[in-house]
């Protein structure tokens, strides 16, 4: 099935070739143009629709009925007749292996095979993993130079995979060769001659798996996931069939090791390539779980995956015909600035790093993600602890040419063994950290910054400019972004960034009636002090595609609005800033200096903003951005009702009270349609807490209904909305809710998770 007759892709899009040097060298970078201008396009060269933005990639992953996984293991390049003949001689017959199955059979099998991935079961592999990594590091620790891929990054994941699967002692080199042949055969673009050689490699791999399987079947009490499958084959042969066992063994050896080995190589390349990041982890191993997540986001080993449309549909507004094949480029989604602030930078403190798409998403999301995470964490922990002075050698990086798996094949490093910390203190060798299984808890991750300057900005408003204590540059941020400031007494407050030229400057309004956070900043904080922050994050984004922007600020809400106005200087926009008194309005001089056309509305000078008139006069299709007190936001929302052409974006700073009073709340049931699970949310717990306890990774940022990170899609059931994110219209529609604070209005919800 080819492109859509209505949709016209650009020349660049039609010529897009993932086997070309740009994509092969830098998958997300090579699609930056598409993310910005043509996020879903048809490539004539590939005969695929290519999906590049985060939300669109996720939406395709999420809808496993409209988008079939059946093509996930299809060869990118059709086999030659000679290759087909060669494969026949090995009786090659790879068919279904979870990852390329559709419902209902996929979920039935997935459910039957889930136990081995529970946190308790995975914990059982940690000691062996630790010992293995330690032995591999022991082998090189005094050498002074090594290729980390050869030394441990591929062998550890392969050994762990075999241990997890229960596959007996195997010839590691042979398995590595087989995996490469399988990857190139399915996801590569081999020439006709190469196809023949690969067909032999793949055929031998298939035959080898048959022999191993027979040996395993002879041991009915064996441990490991393949043995679970062999037992399931005996108990439910109609669900776990003979061919299934054989196909699964071959696919899973690759799925369970190559993904992790390549991710490890990318991780070490990126971590050592960024000295500040490496040093930060050496000094503070608590960063490791999030560093792993950030490396999976920034340079994951799975860069693109495939689906097929089962009906005429749309993705990102682009019509996609039934039967069309889609290349969903998760690596591109992982660099989408709409989702990740400053996405091309490696930021170990990024607190939504775990929302990456490298493990896929939805019903097929990687079952082994927590095992992969555990391996990467242990490898990074051992290397940073034992070889903190490791350095990259000069080298060119190469990766196997294919569309899905990305990972460098060598990471050459050097170090001075005389500086190994365990030479001074041998006990360090065994003094490792342990990390809980699962996604990192980012709420404990803070960035220590120094207060570079304190400036009075208005009556009761103090300006803070922050800097890295070591002088390292701080990550860039986009207009509308904020950071969290951690304050004494377990308080956290959000402040928008409003500095010029990317400076991390905030404006803090003194609130005498509050819980004391702003008073502490005004009364106690001094220049040179260290503060702890999280972010930056942006839930209040400018839509650059809007033809015009109407910016409305009330009081201290000027901070993000001013950053937006700075960004829009050369584009059509209007800025309105309201306050009670001129002397209490922060940054008013800068507003008037840099934006002389801005409108000031000052209560005690007798001028008032006429919201209905402002909104009525807004250009067609404009984005209306408003930040200020709840009253102002409600006023703008009401004024926008007759103008559905406008895009309304707002930001509140007053958190929702998330305390749950059991006398006023009720328990409810939630059905997770994609995971085929039913959970009970007690009156005393949030829906998000219950999801996390079940191992469902719903990202959470603010935890108090302000940011929209924990949004989930609701299929059925009334919602008691308690967030400050959704508009009136979105609430009335009843399709989305914030899991951190909103609840079921009745006793049942059905959600797409
Ligand atoms: C960094 C390491 C890993 C990465 C990046 C990764 C990536 C992926 C991706 C992208 C998918 C397809 C998701 C989708 O279609 O939505 C997947 C599926 C899968 N992965 Fe992983 N994987 C990793 C490690 C592992 C490990 C260690 C195991 C096993 C021990 C494993 C087992 C599986 C299985 C069984 C599936 C199929 C799930 C299904 O279709 O229901 N993976 N993985
Ligand atoms: S985590 Fe921010 S709204 Fe729920």
**CATH among 3.40.50.1240, 3.40.50.300, 3.10.20.30, 3.40.50.460 for 668-751:** 3.10.20.30
Range with the poorest average pLDDT among 353-362, 365-374, 408-417, 723-732: 723-732
Mean pLDDT within 25-32: 96
666, two tokens: 């009720």
- In DSSP terms, 550 is beta-bridged to 574, 624
Which ligand is in closest contact with the Cα of 357? Answer: 1
Ligand 1 pocket mutation, candidates 60, 232, 292, 366, criterion most atoms within 8 A of CB: 366
Fold of the CATH domain 442-537 = Elongation Factor Tu (Ef-tu); domain 3 (2.40.30)
More confident residue, 169 or 37: 37
Mean pLDDT within 541-564: 95
Check: CB of residue 175 under 8 Å from CB of residue 169.
no
Give pLDDT, residue 83: 93
Give pLDDT, residue 2: 45
192/148 Cα distance (integer angstroms): 34
CA of 23 relative to ligand 1 center, distance in Å: 22
Fold of the CATH domain 549-651 = Rossmann fold (3.40.50)
More confident residue, 489 or 498: 498
Give pLDDT, residue 1: 43
Residue with the smallest CA separation from ligand 2 atom 3 is 705
Relative to beta strand 549-554, strand 623-627 is parallel
Ligand 2 pocket mutation, candidates 354, 439, 710, criterion most atoms within 8 A of CB: 710
Give pLDDT, residue 4: 52
387/383 Cα distance (integer angstroms): 5
Atom of ligand 1 lying closest to residue 69 CA: 15
Mean pLDDT within 663-671: 93
Give pLDDT, residue 702: 75
Mean pLDDT within 470-498: 90
Mean pLDDT within 379-391: 97
Q: How far is CA 373 from CA 378, 381, 396, in A?
A: 9, 12, 27
116/459 Cα distance (integer angstroms): 61
**pLDDT tens, 693-716?**
887 878 777 788 877 778 899 999
189/402 Cα distance (integer angstroms): 7
Which ligand is in closest contact with the Cα of 264? Answer: 1
More confident residue, 674 or 425: 425
Mean pLDDT within 539-560: 94
Give pLDDT, residue 445: 83
3-state secondary structure 549-605: EEEEEEHHHHHHHHHHHHHCCCCCEEEEEEECCHHHCCCHHHHHHHCCCCEEEEHHH
86, two tokens: 């060669």
Mean pLDDT within 638-653: 90
Task: Name the CATH superfamily for 81-414.
Answer: Cytochrome P450 (1.10.630.10)
Mean pLDDT within 229-250: 89
- Does the pLDDT at position 6 exceed 60? no
> Across 160-174, 588-602, 695-709, which has the greatest mean pLDDT?
588-602
Angle ∠(677,679,685) on CA atoms, nearest 5 = 150
Give pLDDT, residue 516: 77
Share above pLDDT 70 across residues of the chain, in percent, rounded to a whole number: 98
Query: Looking up tokens 């986009």, which residue turns up?
Result: 478
CA of 162 relative to ligand 2 center, distance in Å: 39
CA of 316 relative to ligand 1 center, distance in Å: 25
CA of 664 relative to ligand 2 center, distance in Å: 22
Residue list, ligand 1 pocket, CB within 6 Å: 61, 69, 98-99, 110, 164, 255-256, 259-260, 263, 300-302, 305, 358-362, 364-368, 371-372
549/342 Cα distance (integer angstroms): 22
Check: CB of residue 577 under 8 Å from CB of residue 654.
no
Residue with the smallest CA separation from ligand 1 atom 2 is 260
Atom of ligand 1 lying closest to residue 330 CA: 10
Give pLDDT, residue 673: 86
Mean pLDDT within 571-593: 95
Binned at pLDDT 50, 70 and 90, residue 656 comes out as: low
Check: CB of residue 278 under 8 Å from CB of residue 37.
no
Domain boundaries, the chain: 81-414, 442-537, 549-651, 668-751
Q: What is the mean pLDDT of the chain?
A: 92
**pLDDT tens, 173-191?**
888 888 889 999 999 999 9
Atom of ligand 1 lying closest to residue 362 CA: 16
User: How many helices, marked H, and strands, marked E, lie in the chain?
Assistant: 26, 28
**pLDDT tens, 299-339?**
999 999 999 999 999 999 999 999 999 999 999 999 999 99
CB atoms within 10 A of CB 398: 11
Binned at pLDDT 50, 70 and 90, residue 469 comes out as: very high
DSSP 107-140: HHHHHHT-GGGSHHHHHTTHHHHHHHHHHHHHHH
CB atoms within 10 A of CB 334: 25
């Amino acid at each position: 099935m080819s492109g859509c007759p209505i949709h016209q892709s650009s020349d660049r899009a039609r010529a897009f070739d993932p086997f070309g040097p740009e994509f092969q060298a830098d998958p997300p970078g090579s699609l930056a143009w598409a993310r910005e201008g043509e996020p879903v396009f048809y490539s004539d060269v590939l005969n695929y629709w290519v999906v590049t933005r985060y939300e669109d990639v996720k939406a395709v992953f999420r809808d496993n009925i409209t988008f079939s996984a059946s093509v996930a293991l299809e060869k990118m390049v059709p086999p030659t007749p000679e290759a087909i003949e060669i494969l026949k001689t090995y009786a090659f017959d790879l068919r279904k292996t979870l990852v390329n199955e559709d419902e209902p059979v996929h979920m039935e099998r997935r459910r039957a095979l889930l136990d081995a991935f529970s946190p308790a079961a995975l914990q059982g592999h940690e000691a062996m993993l630790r010992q293995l990594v330690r032995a591999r590091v022991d082998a090189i620790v005094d050498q002074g130079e090594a290729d980390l891929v050869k030394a441990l990054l591929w062998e550890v994941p392969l050994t762990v995979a075999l241990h997890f699967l229960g596959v007996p002692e195997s010839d590691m080199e042979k398995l590595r060769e087989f995996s490469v042949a399988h990857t190139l055969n399915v996801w590569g673009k081999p020439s006709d001659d190469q196809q023949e050689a690969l067909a032999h490699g793949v055929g031998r791999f298939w035959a080898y798996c048959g022999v191993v399987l027979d040996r395993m079947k002879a041991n009915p009490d064996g441990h490991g996931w393949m043995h679970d499958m062999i037992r399931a084959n005996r108990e439910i042969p109609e669900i776990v069939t003979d061919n299934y066992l054989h196909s699964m063994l071959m696919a899973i050896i690759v799925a369970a090791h190559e993904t992790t080995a390549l991710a490890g190589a990318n991780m070490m390349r990126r971590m050592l390539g960024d000295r500040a990041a490496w040093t930060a982890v050496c000094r503070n191993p608590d960063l490791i779980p999030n560093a792993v997540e950030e490396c999976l986001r920034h340079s994951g080993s799975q860069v693109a995956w495939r689906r097929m449309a089962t009906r005429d549909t749309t993705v990102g507004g682009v019509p996609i015909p039934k039967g069309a094949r889609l290349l969903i480029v998760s690596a591109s989604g992982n660099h989408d600035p709409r989702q990740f602030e400053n996405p091309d930078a490696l930021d170990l403190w990024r607190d939504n790093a775990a929302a990456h798409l490298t493990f896929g998403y939805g019903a097929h999301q990687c079952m082994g993600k927590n095992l992969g995470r555990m391996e990467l964490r242990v490898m990074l922990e051992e290397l940073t602890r034992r070889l903190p002075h490791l350095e990259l050698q000069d080298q060119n990086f190469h990766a196997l040419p294919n569309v899905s798996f990305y990972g460098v094949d060598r990471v050459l490093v050097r170090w001075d063994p005389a500086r190994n910390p365990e030479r001074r203190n041998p006990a360090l060798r065994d003094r490792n950290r342990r990390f809980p299984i699962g996604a990192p808890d980012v709420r404990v991750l803070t960035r220590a910054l120094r207060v570079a300057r304190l400036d009075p900005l208005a009556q009761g408003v103090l300006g803070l400019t922050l800097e890295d204590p070591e002088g390292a540059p701080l990550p860039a941020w986009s207009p509308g972004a904020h950071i969290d400031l951690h304050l004494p007494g377990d308080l956290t407050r959000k402040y928008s960034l409003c500095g010029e030229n990317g400076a991390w400057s905030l404006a803090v309004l003194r609130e005498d009636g509050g819980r004391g956070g702003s008073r502490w900043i005004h009364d106690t904080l001094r220049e040179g002090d260290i503060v702890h922050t999280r972010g930056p994050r942006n839930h209040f984004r400018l839509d650059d595609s809007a033809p015009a922007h109407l910016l409305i600020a009330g009081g201290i809400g000027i901070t993000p609005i001013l950053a937006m106005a700075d960004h829009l200087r050369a584009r059509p926009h209007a800025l309105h800033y309201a306050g009670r008194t001129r002397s209490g309005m922060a940054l008013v001089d800068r507003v008037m200096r840099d934006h002389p056309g801005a409108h000031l509305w000052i209560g005690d000078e007798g001028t008032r903003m006429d919201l209905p008139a402002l909104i009525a006069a807004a250009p067609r299709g404009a984005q209306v951005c408003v930040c200020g007190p709840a009253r102002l936001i409600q006023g703008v929302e009401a004024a926008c009702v007759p103008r559905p052409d406008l895009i309304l974006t707002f930001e509140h700073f007053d958190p929702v009270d998330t305390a749950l009073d059991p006398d006023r709340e009720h328990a409810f049931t939630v059905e997770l349609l994609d995971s085929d699970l039913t959970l009970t949310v007690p009156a005393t717990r949030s829906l998000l807490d219950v999801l996390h306890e079940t191992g469902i990774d719903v990202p959470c940022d603010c935890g108090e209904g302000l940011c929209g990170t924990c949004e989930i899609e609701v299929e059925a059931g009334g919602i008691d909305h308690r967030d400050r994110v959704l508009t009136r219209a979105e609430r009335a529609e009843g399709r989305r809710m914030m899991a951190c604070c909103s609840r079921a209005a009745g006793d049942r919800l059905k959600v797409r998770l």
